[in-house]
């Protein structure tokens, strides 16, 4: 399955330290369409949002976000969930993102994943997700 890529360039990115910006980094990410970063960038809801907004909504450090999107870091399952919630992805898109990252999809027989599916469907924030998870005695994101 081919996804529209965030990247337009090929090969190793050229980094002029004076011109580094989030958009430059994103456009120079990996060309493999079957990676979490490529899939994430190809989604319409991600394309419509400002990357700064996704970083803020996901509560992920900016430099770590750049590394994930560029394909230099493989995020943990919790980081993928944070990014998906922060970008406003659906449960189906989130499960697919988890699979592409090498993680298990949302599995509704698990209490924690049911809570996360509820958070995603209701459009709650990462902070609200963590509060719900903590109230239910589950590991926070």
**pLDDT greater than 80 at residue 38:** yes
How far, in Å, CA of 79 to CA of 132, rounded? 17
For residue 115, what are its two tokens?
């809570």
Residue 29: predicted pLDDT = 46
pLDDT above 70 covers a percentage of the chain that reads 77
Flag whether the pTM goes above 0.95: no
Question: Is the separation of the CB atoms in 39 and 4 below 8 Å?
Answer: no
How far, in Å, CA of 101 to CA of 17, rounded? 29
Residue 123's Cβ-count burial label (10 Å; 0-12, 13-18, 19+) is exposed
**pLDDT greater than 50 at residue 30:** no
Residue 98: predicted pLDDT = 95
- Give the mean model confidence (pLDDT) for residues 130-138: 96
Indicate the domain borders of the chain: 20-105
Residue 2: predicted pLDDT = 39
Classified as helix, coil or strand, 117 is helix
How far, in Å, CA of 55 to CA of 33, rounded? 22
DSSP output for 24-71: HHHHTS---TTSHHHHHHHSHHHHHS-HHHHHHHHT--HHHHHHHHHT
- Distances from the Cα of 114 to the Cα of 23, 105, 118, angstroms: 34, 12, 6
Q: What is the pLDDT of residues 89-105, one digit of tens each?
A: 999 999 999 999 999 99
Furthest-apart CA pair in the chain: how many Å? Answer: 50
**pLDDT greater than 70 at residue 137:** yes
Q: What is the pLDDT of residues 5-29, one digit of tens each?
A: 343 333 344 445 555 555 554 544 4
């Amino acid at each position: 399955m081919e996804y529209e890529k965030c990247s337009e360039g090929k090969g190793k990115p050229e980094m002029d330290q004076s011109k580094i910006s989030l958009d430059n980094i994103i456009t120079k990410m990996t060309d493999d369409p079957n990676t979490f970063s490529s899939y994430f960038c190809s989604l319409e809801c991600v394309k419509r949002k400002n990357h700064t907004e996704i970083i803020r909504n996901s509560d992920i450090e900016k430099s770590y976000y750049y590394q994930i999107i560029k394909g230099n870091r493989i995020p943990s399952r919790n980081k993928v969930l944070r990014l998906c919630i922060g970008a406003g992805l659906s449960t189906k898109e989130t499960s697919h993102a988890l699979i592409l990252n090498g993680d298990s999809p949302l599995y509704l027989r698990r209490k924690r994943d049911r809570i996360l599916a509820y958070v995603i469907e209701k459009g709650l924030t990462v902070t609200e997700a963590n509060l719900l998870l903590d109230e239910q005695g589950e590991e926070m994101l």
